[in-house]
Amino acid sequence: MSDKKTIYFWHFFTLYLTMVLLCTAAYYAYGITAPVSWGIFAVLVVFGGWLFQKRPTGNKEEQTVQKNSSFFFLLSILSIIIDLTLITILVANRTDGLLPSPWQTLEPWFFLLFALGSACVFFTKNPLIMALHFFVMLSVAPILYQLGFGFDAFVHRATESWIYVHGFILPKTPYYIGQYSVITFLAHMTRIPLFYLDVFLVPALAALTLPATVLATGRKPFVFWLIPFIPFLSLHLTTPHNLVILYALLIVFTSSPKENRAVPIHVPILLALAALATHPLLGAPLVVFVAGSLFKHRLNQLFTCLGMAFVTPILFFLNNLRVGAEFPHFANPITQFPAFIALLARPYWYLKHAPLRFEVLYAWQWLIVPIVLGLALYGLFRKKEYSFLSGALGLISSAWLLTSWFVFPDVISYEQGDYPLRLLKASIVFLLPLAMTGLNQILSTLNAKRVTLFAAIAALLLMLSLYFSYPQRNIKARFPGYNVTASDFRAVEWIHGRHSEYDYIVLSNQLVSAAALTNYSFAKYYETKKWPLFYYALPTGGELYAYYGKMIYEGQKREYMEEAMALAGVDTAYFVVNSYWANSEKIIDGAKKTADSFESFDGGAVWVFVYHR
């Protein structure tokens, strides 16, 4: 990009990050209501006017003349046509039905068309054309899943919807506000449905910022595609964690002490503060990394690594104190080291032995990370930028400490193992600038014909990364996740319609509970001796989910339902069974024998069993 465009880009970037921090501060000080949103908007208008009042000085617009410029222009036009076609295909295949993997509804030629578009876009230097193709990669699930994708995103959207109506939600916790307040502010200002603002926030923001940032910091356009080459960064799903992963990517590309002298110093600082406001458990290590990049000292990398390693465990400890939980236990990190290594194992839903073509396909998936590591080591050898290495080692060490040393008794086992895995995956973000340097060095040794061949191969590999970026359901990978469907909504609406008050509980899987959260928000909690109990079963919402597990796995006994009703102090309970559940026919037959009545929806897609006491 030209100097003028780059300066304008940093101005818009600064304005966005200022919005994040203003919204966060306003939320904690009062709340995000319509009048408050207009006040924030007024401040942003004044600040934006001041920011853009001076015309950028420096080099004039670049007049880049390429050989065969008409050929490259045609490639750009073809890339745009292909991407718009791919988006049209995704829109035409939207569904509110059951879809365990998005690839179950798309034909193989969708991937071939994507690969052709990738081969075309590799030869463009236009960040907007790059952004469009990147957006296609990130928008498969947001477009296909008409009712939403995943589970955590539903909980976050329910919270945002509550804040939109009430201004805030109590208690005002130190988590996720950097996302919640921004979504609520945008909903007030644009009148765009909150659902779409939430679903497309991270994909759209990533597409608009990452290609431009890579180009603005002096890197070659082609090396940008190393980012989507890594399939587990999850920029297709808006959650606070994934939003901070995006901030982390932007931080590592704007914090380089050698290449990015043109980046205003406030940009990585504001990014780190925005990350801290959005998800402190990952944002705090980013603050440590940015602080370390600002100081020049011989031992700086060591201090940065140690700070990043310990800050997340310390925050977990402080959070335990905040909620009155037990102190952590300290295990032997040497004897517990196998627990850390286990984080690297493939999940249980990968079949050990499959037909050869699938074994080759998933062998390549396993090789992606070693290839990026190899490029990063080569880039480190060429550029000697050890700050990125210290950042990666810091997060890896933090994952090791949380897995093998600190044991938090009141943290559910899922989170105890899940968050270290998230940190381990996030560590690769800090190696990407080094990997891009290594890739650029390799490309510089190739002649024109070899570059063209390399681009064709890379297009096919990027196509495979697109496939791996979303849940797969084939003979090798049997991803067990499902999605919220229209049948789930019909079931919760039927239950809701039977009552004039919230005087019942529902034992269901988390996706049915997500449908209830979407329609009725945090409608009812029951006070118990331990903690408030949400009226639908949630993995993180109390003991009802344990009773749901008993009904699913230990027999459909009436006594389990009566114990759950006694816990909440109600006289009516519902047990919901989805037909896709393993042994669903046996479970349904068992529940029919113990329930007072039952109802099915959409030809038996969902069954609701009613119990009274």
According to the model, what pLDDT value does residue 530 have?
72
pLDDT of 541: 57
Q: What is the dihedral of CA 212, 275, 179, 94, to 10 degrees?
A: 50
Domain ranges of the chain: 3-468, 486-612
Q: How many CB atoms are closer than 10 A to CB 521?
A: 16
SS3 state of residue 474: coil
Residues of the chain with pLDDT under 50: 61-66, 259-260
**Could you identify the residue written with the tokens 């408030």?**
532
Question: How does pLDDT run across 362-377, given as a tens digit for each residue?
Answer: 999 999 999 999 999 9
pLDDT at 325: 65
Per-residue confidence (pLDDT) for residue 230, from 0 to 100: 96
pLDDT at 404: 82
d(CA 89, CA 146): 14
- For the whole model, what pTM was predicted? 0.93
- What phi-psi label fits residue 612: left (phi over 0), alpha (psi between -120 and 50 degrees) or beta? beta
Q: Which pLDDT score, from 0 to 100, does residue 515 have?
A: 96
Q: What is the pLDDT of residues 394-412, one digit of tens each?
A: 999 999 988 888 776 655 5
Q: Which of 205, 43, 59 has its CA nearest to residue 138?
A: 205
Q: What is the DSSP letter of 104?
A: G
Cβ neighbour number for residue 55 with a 10 Å cutoff: 8
Coil vs helix vs strand at 279? coil
Q: Which two tokens stand for residue 28?
A: 């904690």
What is the helix (H) or strand (E) element at residue 612, kind and residue range? Answer: strand 606-612
Categorise residue 542: left if φ over 0, alpha if ψ from -120 to 50, beta otherwise. left
- 367-388: string of b/e by CB count within 10 Å (b at 16+)? ebbebbeebbebbbeebebbbb
Token pair recorded at residue 338: 């196998």
